Structure formats: C-alpha cells, structure tokens
Amino acid sequence: MPDSYIASGRDHEDAVQGAALLHHPGRNRGTAFTHEERRRLGLEGLLPQAVESLDRQVERVLAHLDEKNDDLERYIYLIGLEDRNETVFYKTIMSDPKRFIPILYDPTVADACETFGNIYRRARGMYISRHMKGRMAEVLRNWPEKDVRFICVSTGGRILGLGDIGANGMGIPIGKLQLYTACAAVPPQCLLPVLFDIGTTNESLRADPFYLGTREPPVSEAELDELTEEFIQAVMEVFPNCCVHFEDWKGTDAIRMLDRYRDRILCYNDDIQGTASVALAGIASALLSTGGRLADQRIMFLGAGSAGIGIAKLICAEMQTKGLSLDEARSRIAMFDINGLIEPSRFDLTEAQKVYAQNLPPMQDFLKALNAFRPTILVGVSTRAGAFNKEVIEAMCRFNERPVIFALSNPTHKAECTAEQAYTWSNGKALFAAGVQFPDVQLNGKTYRPGQANNFYIYPAIGLATYVARPTRLTDECFIVAAHATADQVGPTLRAKGMLYPSQDQILETEVTTATRIVEYMFDAGLAQAERPRDIRAWIEAQLYKPQY
C-alpha cells in the first residue's frame, strides 16, 4: 500500500499526539501503544498501564460481541469500534468474514437503516444536501483525506426492499465501503460514504423527531439532474482520482444516471451492474452443474426495476458473445412486474423495459405467464415475499430437470421464497440462491447449502481492481469477467452440495483472484492507466491493506 497510508508510520503518529491521537480511529492503537510511545506521544496517564497485543484486543472485542443479545446490538458495537480503532475493527471483521458480513451488511444493515436516527452515534462520511447547491466543491473540501479513490453515494431512494428511507439510507454507503476493505483489502482511508440528501417521500420519517435528513419532499427530476451534475463536477475537481459508486437510487434515477455518466467518468452502479454480475456468476455456476449453454436459456424476471433491467442487459451482452444477435438475446428474456407481463400492448413501460416486451398476450397472473414462457431460469427482484409459491416451483420443475431459481430480494422477509421452500417443493431438484444467506436444508438424507447471490462477491473485487489499475472507465465487460472469475472458483465439491458461489470463509482469497482476472482484462483492453507488472497477482497482493500496527 502507499506509504501515505501506513498508519504505523512515526511521522504520522507524531503529527497527532495526546488525547487527540486516542480519538483518531486510523492512528489510535489504544492499549497497544508501548511505554516508549506513550512517553513520546503524550499518552502517559491516558491509558491503563498494561501494553496489549492486537490479538488480545481482538479477543476482548469478540468477548464483548458474545455478550450482545442480537445482531443489531453487535452492529452498533462494531460501528462504535470503528469510530475508536479502525485497525482492531478490521482485524476483527477479517478474522471471520462469514460471521461478520451478515452483521455489517445484509441482513442486519436493513434493521440498522430502519432505526438509523435512533442508533446514530457519530457521523461517518459526508451528507450533501440540496441546500449546498453552488457550494458542493467547497463542502467536499471539508473531508480531511485528500486522496479519495471511491465515493459510494446514495439518495436513500430505494434501500434494499425498504423503499425510500432518505437519510436513513446512509447505512448502505457505510456498509458497502466497509466491505471494500473487509472482503478485498482496499485501504479504508481512500473510501468516502456520501448521502445525497434530496428529501424523501417517506412522510413518517419526515415526522420522526429523530430523523436526521432534510424534512422536505424530493426535488423534481430536473432539479435532481442539475444537483447531481454539480456533485459529479465537484467530485472530479476535489478528488480527481475518484471512482463514483452509485448505490440505491430510485430505479428510474439509477438507470438515467448510469447512462449519463458511465462514458464520461469512472463510475458504476452496483444495483445495476453489481447485481447483474453476481446473478450472471450464479447462472454460469449453475450451468456448470446442468451442462447447459447460456445461449439456450430462457430467463424470466419477477420485477422489472433497475436490478432486473441490469441483469437482463448483462445477460444479453454475454449471449451476444456466444453468437446471438441482440434481438435474439432479448427474445430469451421475459419480465413480469406489478402491472403484469411486459408485452407490446402496455403503455406504461419505460424505454429500458420496452426492449424486453414478449410477443405474448396481456397477462396479470404470474403463474399463467410462467407457463406461457416456460423459463429455464427464474429470477426474483420484486421484494414480493412468497411470490415463488409451491405452484411456481412445481411449474419450474415441469419445464426443467434442474430449474435455476434465484430469490434475490432482500432483506430476508422480502425474499420471493426461502431455501427450504425451493428445495422441498422441487424435491431437491432446484439450483437455488438468494440475496440473503439462508441456513442449510436437510432433505431426503442430503444437505443442501444455498448460495447467497450477494454483490459482495463482485463490487469489492471491482474496487480492488480499480484501486490498483486506475482504469479510465468501468465497462460491462469488467463485470462479465468478474462474474466468470467468481463462478470458476466454485469447484465440483461445492457444486455437489448445491452451492453456486464460493464459500465466504476465504472471501479475501476469492476477491483477490477475481480482481486479478479483472485487472488482466483492464490491461488487455487498454483501460488501465497503471504500468502493467510482470506478475499481476503479486503486484495486487503487495498493495492490500493489512490490519496491523
């Protein structure tokens, strides 16, 4: 990692001393400061006499966590720990990612967002509001770190399956960027969470005395476009090496902003491209089990928002590399939303939806549409809990020997079906993944381990690749490469258990392997601005953040 980031550097320690040092999460070592360091840095008397190792500090944290009653309490504790000592925080998280990812992110982050104003302790990141119009660059300069490489920015307009929760959505940029580091060892100092506060439609939040955001309805589309343009220009001025990660904007806004900026600046939308990539990874992994070809699949979506459109678009791009025309690829995709099957007679479709209109009669019954289209792969991005009922799963089994069923909506109570339902109703035939991690299922003497089709398999690797290679743009091909790199790490042993994604136990190894493939593509495609090394993986590993003193 760059010398400017090494927290243990003496010059950086000496720049902040005394009590201020103990309140600097990136430089604080707490009880790990030696007696000599305490004398030199004005810390004598401010700490207990004992000098502890980092491992002992982590031991104490784990004991504290074991005493908490639920994961939301553990989340609150861990956020407080990050505020005090970043090194201990990441050492703890990276010691057991399978345990801590569900606490820091999905599903616990949904509970944290719903109660964000109540559990708020300290600002993490920046809040940019409509009232800063004309001064956004000036405001961004208030951030103390000057070499910001990633901004994760959300309006809070469509958080998980919770809808518009405005400033309460700040938990998402915070959590997303924590996983850049926890999963892919991107140095935390270069990460900046931003809540773009444009107001909220959520009247109950606006009336909540603990709500922390602007208590106004959202701005118009035209004003949002104007504010976003100023924000993007300000980011490019203040942080010229920054990649903008759009997260959880309202569906139509998300698609419009990605289309507007993807060829102008270094950016991506995780809800669209990250979700698409992780879904494609699961499909590629499933096809390794079924022996099928992507070009022969018929994919049906329940839900036709930004996530569904993003997945469909990336699948079509991949199908085109397999010899299909764009029209042929689109003909293999059907979508069903709240108003029924997307077909040509509907007048309520967006431009992004129209291209997936199937030449079928109007249908408002999902099961009827399913029987008419006869998909091989079923993808739920609807937030309609229970929509994949017994009849739906049984129908998929009539069409397919091994139906592929993805219930991607989250949090848990929004999933289209559970793993147990999918395996039970299909008598173990289904290849299943969800947006959340369901427990193992015992059926007919066999253990099934459902996969979690969560973007954390993709976007941290994209972040690591972007951090080291410094590409000019992130193309759809970067996300296709990421999908196949992820799928290729699911070996026959895991697939025999029904798993479609790598184990979370070794998530850093998985992300580095995926990032290596992405970086190779970036160099081959002429996207990277860094100088190509002889050994790309070794070069990446040398730049990984390590939580150590």
For residue 152, count other CB atoms closer than 10 A to its CB.
26
Is 536 domain-assigned? no
- The per-residue pLDDT for range 165-199, each reduced to its tens digit, is 999 999 999 999 999 999 999 999 999 999 999 99
The answer to whether residue 291 scores a pLDDT higher than 60 is: yes
Q: What is the pLDDT of residue 287?
A: 94
Q: Is 320 left (phi over 0), alpha (psi -120 to 50) or beta?
A: alpha
Tell me if residue 252 falls in helix, strand or coil: helix
> Of 265, 290, 318, which closes a domain?
265
φ, ψ (nearest 5 deg) of residue 480? -70, -45
348-402 residue pLDDT tens: 999 999 999 999 999 999 999 999 999 999 999 998 999 999 999 999 999 999 9
In contact, 406 and 307? CB cutoff 8 Å: no
Q: Kindly report, residue by residue over 417-472, the tens digit of the pLDDT.
A: 999 999 999 999 999 999 988 999 999 999 999 989 999 999 999 999 999 999 99
The CATH number that applies at residue 40 is 1.20.1370.30
Of 190, 276, 270, 221, nearest in space to 467 by CA: 190
Q: Do 243 and 186 have their domain in common? A: yes
The closest alpha carbon to 211, from 202, 222, 221, belongs to 202
Q: Find the mean pLDDT for residues 235-244.
A: 98
Residue 458 is predicted with a pLDDT of 97
Residue 9 pLDDT exceeds 50: no
Tell me the catalytic residues.
Answer: 105, 176
pLDDT digit string, tens, across residues 473-483? 999 999 999 99
Tell whether the model's pLDDT for residue 2 goes beyond 90: no
What CATH number is associated with residue 132? 3.40.50.10380
- Rounded CA-CA distance 148/243 in Å is 9
Number of H helices, E strands in the chain: 26, 14
Q: In sequence order, what E strands does 241-351 have?
A: 243-246, 267-269, 299-302, 333-337, 340-341
Q: Is the pLDDT of residue 22 over 60?
A: yes
- 511 within some domain: yes
Is 313 in the same domain as 393?
yes
Rg of the chain in Å (alpha carbons): 24
The pTM of the full predicted model, rounded to 2 decimals, is 0.92
Residue 14 confidence (pLDDT): 65
294 φ, ψ (degrees, to nearest 5): -60, -40
Domain of residue 511, residue span: 457-526
Contact partners, residue 406, CB within 8 Å, separation at least 6: 279, 282, 377, 378, 379, 380, 432, 433, 434, 453
Q: Please report the pLDDT score of residue 10 as a whole number.
A: 42
pLDDT digits over 103-147, tens only?
999 889 999 999 999 999 998 899 999 999 999 999 999 999 999
What is residue 287's DSSP assignment? Answer: H
| Terminal Cα distance for the chain, rounded | 14
Q: Are residues 302 and 356 in the same domain?
A: yes
Does residue 211 share a domain with residue 71?
yes
- pLDDT at site 343: 97
Tell me, what's the pLDDT at 6? 37
Is 315 in the same domain as 432? yes
Amino acid at 277: S
545 in a structural domain: no
Quote the number of domains for the chain.
Answer: 4
Cβ(406)–Cβ(434) under 8 Å? Answer: yes
Same domain, 73 and 183: yes
Please provide the DSSP assignment of 409-472 as one string: -SSGGG-SS-HHHHHHHTTT--EEEESS-PPPEEETTEEE--EE--GGGTHHHHHHHHHHH-BS
Q: Write the DSSP symbol of residue 327.
A: H
Helical (H) or strand (E) element with 171:
helix 171-184
CATH number of the CATH domain containing 328: 3.40.50.720
Residue 279 lies in a domain: yes
